[in-house]
Homo-oligomer: A and B are copies of this chain.
Amino acid sequence: MNELVFVGLGLHDEKGISLQGLEEAKTAEKAFIELYTSLLPDFSIERLEALTGKKVHVITRHDLEEENGKLILDAAEKGKTVFLVPGDPFIATTHVTLRIEAEKRGIKTRIIHGASIISAIIGLSGLHNYKFGKTVTIPFSENASETPYNVITQNKQLGLHTLCLLDIKTDQKRYLQINQALTQLLDVEQKRKMGTATPETVAVGIARAGSNAPALKADTIKNLLTFDFGEPPQSLIFPGELHFMEAEALITLAGAPASLRSVAK
């Protein structure tokens, strides 16, 4: 049967795949993987191949974005093919294009979901999911823009939290760090002066979500700048209005200053 199954790999290593995802990979005629849209810090293709009992072909950004995933589509036209993707497959918008192309070619598609950085970071922080506004990615300094500052400002005006993903360039092994992202935001604050990201603003830094030793720290930007979050991947949350249970979570789980209690509602 010609079929393309997108399988989420979850967050950290090859054991983030679900039991069903593993079954789909085992029973596929051909298996592909991409590891450039997210960093899976402890992932080993060899260990995944041992688990699935089959060769897993690595797909590059070029294969997918310049060649439009031809390798994958051609295989899926011949028989059941799995495409293994970090996190939950379609949080990376580039894969939506491949799915549309497959459907247009008459290839049936299915999705085996995996844990996503989005829900993982929200969960780790202890903040309430329904109080998050629009998500934003903070780019490397050479591509710095005021967009992240504007998104955080807009969300705060609505009382909402902002999840900030930090840019990665996996092919260059470059991962934006929390202190670099904060420095960019402080620079914009100097110009815009809206109070969105001052040295006294409280933010939440998270590193290695999905690992057995994630780092989680809520503090003023001033203090977060020198906090050692360790290895990537790293992310940030800018809280909006805090419910008192959210303040309690940040204090107990993320070592936030107890003074947060006085601003919670």
Chain A residues in the interface with B (C-beta under 8 A): 8, 10-11, 13-20, 22-23, 51, 87-91, 93, 96-97, 99-100, 103-104, 110-111, 113-116, 118-120, 122-124, 126, 128-137, 154, 158, 160, 209-210, 212, 245, 248-249, 252-253
Contacting A252 at CB < 8 Å: which of B93, B100, B123, B210? B100
How many Å lie between the Cα of A215 and that of B229 in the bound state? 42
Contact between A123 and B113 (Cβ–Cβ < 8 Å)?
yes
Contact between A115 and B8 (Cβ–Cβ < 8 Å)?
yes
Contact between B132 and A135 (Cβ–Cβ < 8 Å)?
yes
Contact between B115 and A118 (Cβ–Cβ < 8 Å)?
no
Q: Which residues of B contact A158 (CB under 8 A)?
A: 134, 154
Q: Which residues of B contact A249 (CB under 8 A)?
A: 96, 99-100
How many Å lie between the Cα of A136 and that of B126 in the bound state? 18
Contact between B135 and A134 (Cβ–Cβ < 8 Å)?
no
**Nearest CB to that of A88 among chain B residues?**
B119
Given contacts A18-B16, A19-B22, A134-B132, contact A126 B99 (CB under 8 A): yes
Contact between B123 and A130 (Cβ–Cβ < 8 Å)?
no
**Nearest CB to that of A92 among chain B residues?**
B129
Given contacts A104-B252, A132-B135, A134-B130, contact A90 B122 (CB under 8 A): yes
Contact between A120 and B124 (Cβ–Cβ < 8 Å)?
no
Contact between A122 and B253 (Cβ–Cβ < 8 Å)?
no
**Nearest CB to that of A9 among chain B residues?**
B18
Given contacts A97-B245, A115-B8, A115-B113, contact A134 B160 (CB under 8 A): yes
Q: Which residues of B contact A99 (CB under 8 A)?
A: 126, 249, 253
Contacting A15 at CB < 8 Å: which of B23, B137, B209? B23
Contact between B212 and A129 (Cβ–Cβ < 8 Å)?
no
The 6 closest A-B pairs by CB, nearest first: A90-B123, A113-B115, A116-B119, A15-B20, A15-B19, A88-B119
Q: Which residues of B contact A11 (CB under 8 A)?
A: 113
**Nearest CB to that of A51 among chain B residues?**
B19
Interchain nearest-CB distance for A67 vs B (Å): 18
**Nearest CB to that of A252 among chain B residues?**
B100
How many Å lie between the Cα of A104 and that of B252 in the bound state? 7
Contact between A110 and B20 (Cβ–Cβ < 8 Å)?
no
